[in-house]
Structure 1
Amino acid sequence: MRRRSDQRVLKKATNLSTNSDLSEKTARLKAKISATREKALEEKFAESEAEQWQRENSNAIKAYNDAVAEHGCFAEKYKTF
């Protein structure tokens, strides 16, 4: 998955509270909380954008699927599989 945020943008400090058990486990794993949080946020934003795109294009998707159901796929008679 490609990173969606611009890596050239300056980082901004934020106040983050974390469950103490998770903090201890993170320390034992030597994981980077900031990097993990950024990745999780990027994935959440990508998921949200995909859902929004699907909602905005649902009529076109339905129309396309209906056309394929009625007329078949473009060049279907030429496929060899």
Structure 2
Amino acid sequence: MRNAQIQKTTKKAANLSLSTELLAEAKRLNINLSATMEKALEQEVSKKLKEEWVKNNTEAVDACNKLTEEFGLFSDSYRKF
């Protein structure tokens, strides 16, 4: 489940508590609750995975940036601009 894009395989039922008014309006508008929830959950999981990656890799990224600031990039001598 750590992939940037989560595989859509088997499904499992889940119980949710939703606002009565919101649920009634969604039904009136023929909104597919399962598809809508799955899409929203995919977006939230993706967002949280990105935040987790940044948190876990901040130190390494900072170290790489510091080295680049001090010594430049290995390709600097080949740049034409």
The interval holding the TM-score normalised by the smaller chain is 0.7 to 0.9
| Distance in structure 2 (CA, Å) of the matches to 1:80 and 1:31 | 55
- CA deviation digits over 1:8-66, x for unaligned, max 9? 32x22222221123223322432211111111112222222221111111111010010
Read off the aligned partner of 2:58 and give its amino acid letter: S
Provide the residue aligned with 2:71 in structure 1: 71
Higher normalized contact order (CA 8 Å, seq sep 6+, divided by chain length) = 2
Aligned residues: 78
Larger mean Cα displacement after TM superposition, 17-26 or 54-63: 17-26
Provide the residue aligned with 1:7 in structure 2: 8
Spell out the pairing of 1:54-69 with structure 2 (5 A cutoff).
54-69=54-69
The runs of 5 or more residues in structure 2 that have no matched partner are none
Identity %: 36
C-alpha RMSD of matched pairs (Å) = 2.1
The runs of 5 or more residues in structure 1 that have no matched partner are none
TM-score, structure 2 as length reference = 0.73
| Distance in structure 2 (CA, Å) of the matches to 1:71 and 1:29 | 59
Provide the residue aligned with 1:17 in structure 2: 17
Larger mean Cα displacement after TM superposition, 12-21 or 52-61: 12-21
Read off the aligned partner of 2:29 and give its amino acid letter: L
